[in-house]
Structure 1
Amino acid sequence: MRIRTLDLFCGGGGSSWGAQAAGAEIVCGVDAWDLAVRAYASNFSTAKAVHLRMTPESGPADLGDIGEIDLLLGSPECTHHTCARGSRPRDEDSKRTAFYVTNFARDLSPRPRWVVIENVVHMRGWHGYEPLLTELRRLGYRTEVYILDASRFGVPQSRRRVFIVGDLAAQPPSEVRGQRGRAPWVKGIIAAEDEGHRSRPLRSEGRAPATLERAKRGIAALGEGTPFLIVYYGSDGAGGWQPLDRPLRTITTLDRFGLVTWRGSTPMLRMLQVDELMAAMGFWGGYSLDGIGQRRDRIRLLGNGVCPPVMAAIVGSLTRGAAQTASWAEDEEAPHDPPGPLFLAAAE
Structure 2
Amino acid sequence: MTWATAVDLFAGAGGFTAGATRAGVRVLWAANHWQEAVQVHADNHPETEHSCQDLHQADWSRVPAHDILLASPACQGHSRARGIDRPHHDATRSTAWAVVSCTEHHEPNVVVVENVVDFLRWQLYPIWRQALEALGYQVAPHIIDAADHGVPQHRRRVYIVCTRTRSPLMLSMAPREHVAAESFIRFDAGNWSPIEKPGRAAATKARIHSGRQRFGDRFVMPYYSSGSGRTGRAISRPIGTITTVDRWGVVDGERTRMLTASESRDAMGFAADYRLPANHRDATKMLGNAVCPPVVTDLLTEVRRAA
State the TM-score, normalizing by the size of structure 1.
0.83
Given that 2:222 and 2:228 are in contact with CA atoms closer than 8 Å, whether structure 1 keeps it comes out as no
Residues 206-285 of structure 1: pairs in structure 2 closer than 5 A: 206-223=199-216, 226-236=217-227, 238-239=229-230, 241-262=232-253, 267-284=254-271
Q: How far apart, CA to CA, are the structure 1 residues paired with 2:231 and 2:209?
A: 10
Are 1:150 and 2:135 counterparts? no
Gaps of 5+ in 1: 323-348
Deviations 1:106-149 (Å, cap 9, x if unpaired)? 012xx111100110001111111111211111101122110000
Q: How far apart, CA to CA, are the structure 2 residues paired with 1:274 and 1:170?
A: 44
Partner of 1:15: 16
Partner of 1:136: 132
Q: How far apart, CA to CA, are the structure 1 residues paired with 2:33 and 2:218?
A: 39
Partner of 1:106: 104
Given that 1:35 and 1:293 are in contact with CA atoms closer than 8 Å, whether structure 2 keeps it comes out as no
Could you tell me how far 1:171 is from its partner in structure 2?
A: 4.3
Partner of 1:187: 182
* Structure 1 counterpart of 2:58, one-letter code: S
- SS of the residue corresponding to residue 96 of structure 1 reads helix
Residues 1-348 of structure 1: pairs in structure 2 closer than 5 A: 3-55=4-56, 57-61=57-61, 64=62, 66-89=63-86, 91-108=89-106, 111-169=107-165, 171=167, 173-180=169-176, 182-193=177-188, 196-223=189-216, 226-236=217-227, 238-239=229-230, 241-262=232-253, 267-284=254-271, 286-289=273-276, 292-322=277-307
- SS of the residue corresponding to residue 174 of structure 1 reads coil
What is the count of residue pairs matched by the alignment? 305
Seen in structure 2, the aligned counterparts of structure 1 residues 59 and 165 have a Cα distance that, compared at 3 Å, is farther
Which runs of at least 4 in structure 1 moved beyond 6 Å after TM superposition?
none
Given that 2:3 and 2:68 are in contact with CA atoms closer than 8 Å, whether structure 1 keeps it comes out as no
- SS of the residue corresponding to residue 7 of structure 1 reads strand
Gaps of 5+ in 2: none
Could you tell me how far 1:293 is from its partner in structure 2?
A: 4.8
Could you tell me how far 1:58 is from its partner in structure 2?
A: 2.5
Q: How far apart, CA to CA, are the structure 1 residues paired with 2:174 and 2:31?
A: 29
Could you tell me how far 1:284 is from its partner in structure 2?
A: 1.7
* Structure 2 counterpart of 1:87, one-letter code: I
Deviations 1:58-113 (Å, cap 9, x if unpaired)? 2313xx3x4321110110010111133323436223212111111100012xx111
Could you tell me how far 1:285 is from its partner in structure 2?
A: 5.9
User: Percent of counterpart pairs with the same letter?
Assistant: 33
Could you tell me how far 1:5 is from its partner in structure 2?
A: 0.8
- The root-mean-square deviation of aligned C-alpha atoms, in Å, is 1.8
Q: How far apart, CA to CA, are the structure 2 residues paired with 1:261 and 1:157?
A: 20
* Structure 1 counterpart of 2:103, one-letter code: A
Q: How far apart, CA to CA, are the structure 1 residues paired with 2:48 and 2:149?
A: 26
